[in-house]
Structure 1
Amino acid sequence: MILYQPKNGYCYNSDTLFLYDFISNFSIKKNVLEVGSGCGVLGLLVARDFQINLTVIEIQEIMAKFIEKNANYNKINLEIIHNNFLSYEFNKRFEYVISNPPFYPSNKKSDNEIKQISRYDENLPMKEFFQKVNSILTERGEFIFCYEASRFDEVTKMLPKPLKIIDVKFIYPKTKKFANLVMIRAKRHAKSMIKFHTPIFNFDDDEFSKEAKEVYKKANTKSIKE
């Protein structure tokens, strides 16, 4: 998949590709909303591999234009909403909401406005984000997303009922390093126990691990900056 991205803005990284791989474990279908789409990589990959009705919502106009360009180039149908997720009034509910949201604490800053909006949680605070997701899911809808691993306890406390975590997978940069990403699947009114999936270590010494290479091969993306 060819993906156009801005030269001086936020570009997707391994976090999104690992999340795509995590989502691929589940029978995702019907109406899917991606929140905070960036250049559209996550939703487009899922739409490439699954029969879904994809909607993406992106607050930044420049990124919404890249989503449109990438969808057209890769011949994937979707609905693009250029708006603020927290304030936008949706006219339907979704079976799935997927997201690699801005999750770094807002006390960190970037001089680049595109990166600031894409990375830091001041524009999509955890509590408000989770509550809005819960309100637009169908009765048995699912929320599949990633977050900074060090905030996992906060995530578990902030998820509103009836959302319940049923799948968790941690990503580690290397062995002997702490996890830096957690991927979570939560479902409304779920009764099943939590499954902790085998973690992924991104690097094995100075090379990508076997598992990471498999994820990158499966995604099969190529970035073009302009």
Structure 2
Amino acid sequence: MRFYQPLKGYAYNSTSLFLAHFATPFIKKGDKLLDIGAGCGVVGLLCAREFNNPLDLVEIDAEMAYFATLNCQNAPNAKVHHSDFLTCPLEPNSYGVLLSNPPYYPTNSLKSPFSQKAQATNQSYLPLLEFCIKAGQLLKPQGYFVLCYHASLTDSLLNALQKAKLKPTLLRFVHPFYTHKASLVLCAARKGAKSLLTIAPPLITHNSKAQQDNTPEVAAIYEKFKTHSIKASLA
């Protein structure tokens, strides 16, 4: 799939593909999907394409919302909302699966001077607990909230999900090399679930410390999605 992105703006990366790969087993035909903080729309569109699921995408940045709309032009069941997620008027209890790569840097951390990157990375634009609470309100009973987060903040994520009455059911940690600490956690939480939490085997992204040789699993993920980025300017 081709994805238009801003020439100098915040771009999707391998994290988006890892999240889409992790999320797809939770998606069934007919599920209505919501991509929160959608950027150019890559995660939501990749997840929706197999069953042509109805898809809403919420993006606060005007430029990124424009590119998401551009990327949705061949997806008639997709709709982009240029809005703050916390105030976006979405229908409660209506989504089968929510997807997100949310901002995770703490509110008091140094913000990027570039507003687009700051919005994508700093929690002051989308506080974690309020984010999880609204996600829970939008999910159908037994619906899934699938997201990624910085591995070092996993405890904060699990705490917020539980306060929002969303039960974490599956975690998978992503490591850049098998002896390196995890840099990312992929998480699935379910509304109304009572099952125990499962920790999946780790996703190792590279075979060597040089991090220039993808593992077979990562190579297979890239091959599965075959995304092609096209950089463009609004000017």
For the criterion TM > 0.5, the same-fold answer is yes
SS in 2 for 1:90: coil
Q: Name the SS of the counterpart of 2:217 in structure 1.
A: helix
The number of equivalent residue pairs is 225
Alpha-carbon shift at residue 200 of structure 1 (Å)? 1.0
Asked whether the equivalents of residues 60 and 82 of structure 1 are also in contact (C-alpha less than 8 Å), the reply is yes
Deviation at residue 76 of structure 1 after TM alignment: 5.0
Query: Contact 1:28–1:96 (CA<8 Å) still a contact in 2?
Result: no
Aligned residues: percent identity?
A: 36
Equivalent residue, structure 1, for 2:221? 215
1:167 maps onto 2:170 in alignment: yes
Counterpart Cα distance in 2 of 1:165 and 1:28 = 19
1:190 to 190, 193, 196: 193
Q: Segments of 4+ in structure 1 off by > 4 A? A: none
What SS does the aligned partner of 2:49 have?
Answer: helix
| Distance apart, 1:69 and its partner CA | 0.8
Q: 2:57 corresponds to which residue?
A: 56
The Cα RMSD (Å) is 1.4
Residues 164 and 7 of structure 1, relative CA distance in 2, 3 Å threshold:
same
Per the normalisation by structure 1, the TM-score is 0.94
Residue-by-residue CA offset, 1:114-145 (whole Å, 9 max, x unaligned): 11111222101111101111111112221111
User: Which digits, 9 at most, give the CA deviation of each residue in 1:160-212, with x for residues without a partner?
Assistant: 35310111111011121110110111111112222211211111113111111
Match for 2:50: what amino acid?
D
1:118 is paired with a residue whose SS is: helix
Structure 2 unaligned blocks of 5 or more: none
Is the Cα–Cα contact under 8 Å of residues 44 and 76 in structure 1 kept in the other structure? no
Change in 2 beyond 3 A, CA 1:173/1:43? same
Partner of 1:91: 91
Note the residue ranges of structure 1 that are not aligned, 5 or more in a row.
Answer: none
| Residues 105, 83 of structure 1: alpha-carbon distance in 2 compared, 3 angstrom cutoff | same
- Structure 1 CA distance, aligned partners of 2:121 and 2:165? 28
Map of 1:104-123 to 2, 5 A cutoff? Answer: 104-106=105-107, 107-123=109-125
